[in-house]
Amino acid sequence: MSDFIQELKHDHHVIQQVVAGMSAVAELLDSGKQVDPSVLADLVQFLRVFADQCHHEKEEQHLFPLLAAKTNASTRRELEYLEHEHRSAKQLVAQLAKVAAVYVHNPEVVRYRVIDLLQQLVELYPAHIWKEDFLLFPLAQQNLSPAEQQGLEEKFESVEREVGEDIHAGFEMLAKKLEAVVEYRNTGACPLCSSAA
Ligand SMILES: [Fe+2]
Ligand SMILES: [Fe+2]
């Protein structure tokens, strides 16, 4: 498997960890508990920077245009649909940022809006990632020349540099931290709750 595909798949793995965390946070809120507002702020920051500015940028600015030029109309339609899903995610995150700001002072007012937005993001990402991992990336592997694949690796490095490697590593830590809230389902000890409701 090409290095550029491994890198995108690694990003997907981190995003999936955070999606599992979002699902668990939505479940906690739905069961009447409060989460620390910093958790929502961290989620918004992750989705804006790691998922959108970094990962979606690698796909939309670099991989998709290259692939669109070398494949048929049906693949181009699929690429447009994937971009449409990126825009949907971005809109949901913008709304989540607004309600997360309200949640800091008035959690009860926006509890169900937060749950709804988290659930919409949880529904969007896994199917999107599945299509890229199992349909799009094999097509890219087949259709892009070794030089084009090498070019993508270099472009991805420059995207990572723009975002900042430390910031990138910090987000991977957040993904790990959120695993703890997923574990909560098994252990019953909630690591992110600010207080039991
Ligand atoms: Fe994508
Ligand atoms: Fe992706």
pLDDT tens digits along 21-75:
999 999 999 999 888 898 999 999 999 999 999 999 999 999 999 999 998 999 9
Which two tokens mark 166? 């430390």
Distance 111 CA to ligand 2 centre (A): 29
The model's pLDDT over 156-183, given as tens digits with 9 standing for 90+, comes to: 999 999 888 777 777 877 777 777 777 7
Distance 129 CA to ligand 2 centre (A): 6
Distance 82 CA to ligand 2 centre (A): 9
In this predicted structure, what is the pLDDT of residue 194?
A: 60
Inter-CA distances, 17 with 58, 78, 179, 182, Å: 20, 25, 7, 9
Q: How far apart, in whole angstroms, are the C-alpha atoms of residue 18 and residue 20?
A: 5
Distance 76 CA to ligand 2 centre (A): 16
The helix (H) or strand (E) run that includes residue 9 is: helix 3-30
Strand partners, 35: 193
Strand partners, 34: 195
Distance 123 CA to ligand 1 centre (A): 14
Distance 47 CA to ligand 1 centre (A): 12
Inter-CA distances, 61 with 85, 101, 171, 179, Å: 15, 31, 22, 31
> Phi/psi at 188 (nearest 5 deg)?
80, 0
Distance 121 CA to ligand 1 centre (A): 13
Q: How far apart, in whole angstroms, are the C-alpha atoms of residue 169 and residue 63?
A: 23
Domains of the chain with CATH codes: 3-186 (1.20.120.520)
